[in-house]
Amino acid sequence: MRLLFLGDMVGRTGRTVVWEKLPGLIEEYGFDFVAVNGENAAGGFGITEEIYLKTIDAGADVVTTGNHVWDQREALSFCERQDRFIRPANFPDGAPGRGSGIYVARNGARVLVTNIMGRIFMSPDLDDPFMTVEKALAACPLGEQADAVVIDFHAEATSEKQCFGHFVDGRASLVVGTHTHIPTADYQILNGGTAYISDAGMCGDYDSSLGMDKEEPINRFVSKIPKGRFEAATGPATLCGVAVEISDRTGLAETIQPLRIGPRLEESLPVF
């Protein structure tokens, strides 16, 4: 099966490029399953139900999130009724919504998707991401209850991301890093057959600071005195993600290729 993962949509420009381009990409490349990280889709902070629904309408099978998941308070309620919306699985017991789900792809494959947050330079009080993924994989092992396993590992430190990838190597189809908003060049198939990239990059304006208008972040680095709020950048967005070919027989990855379309970064289109 062919899977597309798109990194964090940031602001109006980021979500619009996904809504505009995703239907054509699915058609052109025959993607069987699409996951999109939506944690920054509403002005850079969280996601509304309307944005979530439009992203599903555009062709996403699932929307993952991260540390910004609750920035729009309505997410605390709509996460309960929208079963294609996934918040990090390692929140404390009792958190609303779901941290993983099993979905049927266009080719009939059962895809386990989970979203797990790293703790280094993030929220150290979250549950252990390694034990969290162990539980998710035990409940729905690749090759048994799942034909493919996709893990959005939302983390800051590349060391934690790499170790997490190796930890689940051979037990997941894809470990894709999100959160840092910058695409990395280390996309590869790990020894056990898991496709891996430290960060998919964002879908957003790369003439920015992580998709936010750059003036205020620069001001804070220089003066240490906030002058205003962080606002999402509004220039044309570049779409960033990875396209993965997954074996129907083993559920492991055969290829992982970067996908970048837009005005700022060098274009990269998958070849199948």
Active-site residues: which are they?
68
Bridge partners for 165 per DSSP? none
Task: Please identify, using beta-carbon distances, which residue of 8 and 160 lies nearer to Fe ion.
Answer: 8
Nearer to Fe ion, 197 or 252 (CB): 197
CB of 260 to Fe ion, least distance (A): 17
What's the CA gap between 104 and 257, in Å, rounded? 23
Least distance in angstroms from the C-beta of 135 to Fe ion: 22
Q: Cα(1)–Cα(25) distance, rounded to whole angstroms?
A: 15
Torsion 27-146-141-61 (CA) sign: positive
Taking the complex as a whole, the smallest distance from the CB of residue 7 to Fe ion amounts, in Å, to: 8
State how far the Cα of 197 lies from the Cα of 99, in Å rounded to an integer: 21
Q: Which residue lies nearer to Fe ion by CB, 8 or 127?
A: 8
Binding site for Fe ion (CB under 5 A): 8, 39-40, 66-67, 179
Q: How far is the CB of 142 from Fe ion (least distance, A)?
A: 26
**Beta carbon nearer to Fe ion, 26 or 75:** 75
CB of 211 to Fe ion, least distance (A): 8
Q: Which is nearer to Fe ion, 67 or 173 (CB)?
A: 67
Beta pairing class for 110-117 and 100-104? antiparallel
